[in-house]
Structures are given as structure tokens and as C-alpha cells.
Amino acid sequence: MRLAMLAGLLIVTIIAGCTDKIAQDDVPETEIEQPEDRSAETSQTDTSEIENIINKQMLSEEEYVEIGEMI
Amino acid sequence: MKKCMKKGIFLIVLLLLAINIAIAQEDAQEDAIEQVSVMGTVEGATVRLLQLQSSIDRNILKGTTVIAEITNSNRDLNISGMEELLAELTVLSNQISEMLNSDIAVTKATEEFVMIKQEATGLSQEFKKLARSMVSGEEQERLRNRNETSQELDTLKEEIRQRIMAHNALQVQNFLDKMDLENESLVGLVGSGQMNLGQAVSSIANAYKGLGQSKKTEALVKMKENKAKAQVFKETIRQNTENNADEMSIRAQERKETAKDWLEEVKQKVMTKAGTQGRLNAQGNQNSNVSNALDNSKMQRGQK
């Protein structure tokens, strides 16, 4: 009985190990390069955020204060 | 039973009208709050106040034309309510002039901007309602499309343009400082209006892209601090100006009294002047003369 339990445990451990290995092997190349891509993405986000901050602090000549029409 | 139904319908209409007015006022306040993010500096606050004054002065000019059209068409219509509204708008414009000529704190000036904008929007709506009840649809369209301008408005427009350029140049300098960069040529081009807003923003963004990683992080933190300060400023103004129905009511009362006294003074002047030209003639043209005098008086005060 004990032997059967130990054998079962061993089989489960081997299967888990294999699954993990297969999962690691399946990681696509593009995902391994993710840190580099994310950095470029972050840089783009930062630039967009900066443009947004600048835009909010600058004034446009076309802009005016709307109070409605008289007729 | 029918009476009950009529009363019910009347109450529902009143309720809907009250809700509509409340929503319009809230919209006007929200709109004003959105425009205050640049008012944290004296330059930004000055531009917004001048823009508000320009809108009010343009409406006074348009209102004067509308009144003149009504009186010129020989209709026996009561335009005193409209003149009072124009006088109230004039009081608001004069309040802005006084603020611009004083050392008022930026926060206080911004709160005043929000409240005056709300008041001017309300007065313009009231005027429009009265004017539309006296002018046909065709005439309304013609008057709406008529381009109203004056030398004073053109001067004000040019002053706003110059101040916008100066404000933007200061902001460019401010952003360059945050990136620890110097570019006098860029600041000069923005300040003289040779570089437009989009080009200026792109130039700063490109300068940021060219920074090293540590400088980028440092600049980003400083700019985010700026953004947070602007947000806090906006929220402070929002809190200080919302749920202020009592204050607005007191202000309206004071404004009405000032406008009434002033209108009386203008009418007296018109009557005195007309007396020398012939009393009968003066009676015939009294209304349009008051409107013109009101407008001229405003424009003389508006000159800075």
C-alpha cells in the first residue's frame, strides 16, 4: 500500500516537472524580450504624458471663454 | 378634477424648468473650473480674466445692437429689462477691470473668474430669452450672424494675443528648467508668436526624448509635481465655489443695485443732453440713446 502511494507521488512529481518544462519551452521568443519592449512602451507613455502636461499649461489663441449668445 | 390636473402639470413644468436651470448653472460652473488650470500663475490668471472680459464686452455690444434694432423698428416694446441686464453685464466687466488693476491674489482672482463667468452666462441667457420674445426668427438669425466688433474689442483681442504668447514663453522656459536645459531661441520664437503651440509642444517633447535616462526620470517627476499642483489648485477652486447659492444671491442683489443706480445716472445724462436738443426729440429716441450711452460708457471704462 505504502509502495503504491510512493509510486503515485513520484508519478505526480514527474508529471508536474514535465509540465513546467514544457511551459517554459513554449514561451515565445517575443515574450522573452518583453522587458526591452516594455521599456520602449514606457518611454512612449512618458512622452505622451509630458505632451499632455505641457498642453494643459499652455494657452491657445483659438480658445475663448464661452458665456453664451445674446440672441 | 381638471383644475387639479392643470395645477399638477403647471407644477411639473416648474420643476422641469428649475432642474433645467440648475443643470445649466452646474454646466457653466464645470466649464469654468476646466479653464482655471492655467490660472495658478499671474500671467495665466490675467489671460483668462481678459478673455472673460472680452466675451462680456462682445455680448454688451451685441445686446446694444439688438436693443437698437427693436427700438428702430418703431415697436412699442418695453426694453427696460434688457437695458438692466446690459447694465449688469457692464458691472461685471468693470469688476474685472478693477481686479486687473489691483494686486488681488491669484486664488481669489480665480474664484472671482468662476463666479463672474457663471453670472455673465446667466445674464446673457436672460437677455436672449427676452430678445427672442421681441424679435422674429428671421431677424434673430440676421442679428446672430452680424459680426459685431469695435476698436476697443480689437485692442483687447490683441492684448490677449500678446499675453498668451508671453504666458506660453514662460511655460516653455519653465519646462526647459525642469529638464535642466537652455534654449533661448525656442523661448524667443514662442514669445514672439513665430512658433505655434503644436510646434512648441513637439520641441519640448523632442528635447525630453533626447535626455539620458536619469535626467528623464528627474524631469518627469518634476513635471508630474507641476501637474499635481495644478490639480490641487483646480480642486481648491472647485470646493471654494460650489454650493455657494447664498453668496451668489447676495452678489446678484448688490450687482442689480449698482447697475440700477448707474443706469439711472446714464438716463439722467441722456435726458440732460437731449434737453438742449429738444425735449420732444429726446422722448422719441430715449430708449436707443440710453443703450448707446450705456455701451459708450462701458467702452470708455474698458480702455486700459
- From the list B259, B267, B262, B257, the residue with the least C-alpha distance to B288 is B267
**pLDDT (mean) for A32-38:** 52
Q: Are residues B62 and A71, on separate chains, in Cβ contact within 8 Å?
A: yes
Q: Which three cell numbers stand for residue B31?
A: 466649464
Predicted local distance difference test score (pLDDT) of residue A43: 76
The list of chain B residues with pLDDT below 70 reads: 1-4, 9-29, 74, 276-304
pTM here? 0.77
Residue B200 Cα, gap to closest chain A Cα (Å): 9
**pLDDT (mean) for A10-14:** 70
Nearest CA in chain A to B206: A47
Contacts of A57 in chain B (CB under 8 A): 37-38, 171, 174, 226, 230
Predicted local distance difference test score (pLDDT) of residue A19: 60
Q: Which three cell numbers stand for residue B144?
A: 446672430
> Residue B238 contacts by C-beta under 8 Å, 6 or more apart in sequence?
B33
Residue pLDDT, tens place only, B84-117: 999 999 999 999 999 999 999 999 999 999 999 9
Q: Residues of B246-267 as b/e, b for ≥16 C-beta within 10 angstroms?
A: eeeeebeeebeebbeebbeebb
Q: Which three cell numbers stand for residue B140?
A: 434673430
Q: Does ipTM come in above 0.85?
A: no
Rounded to 10 degrees, the C-alpha dihedral A32/A35/A40/A46 comes to: 150
Q: Are B33 and B114 in contact, with CB atoms under 8 Å apart?
A: yes
Residue B7 Cα, gap to closest chain A Cα (Å): 32
Predicted local distance difference test score (pLDDT) of residue B188: 97
Dump the DSSP string for B6-31.
HHHHHHHHHHHHHHHHHHHHHHHHHH
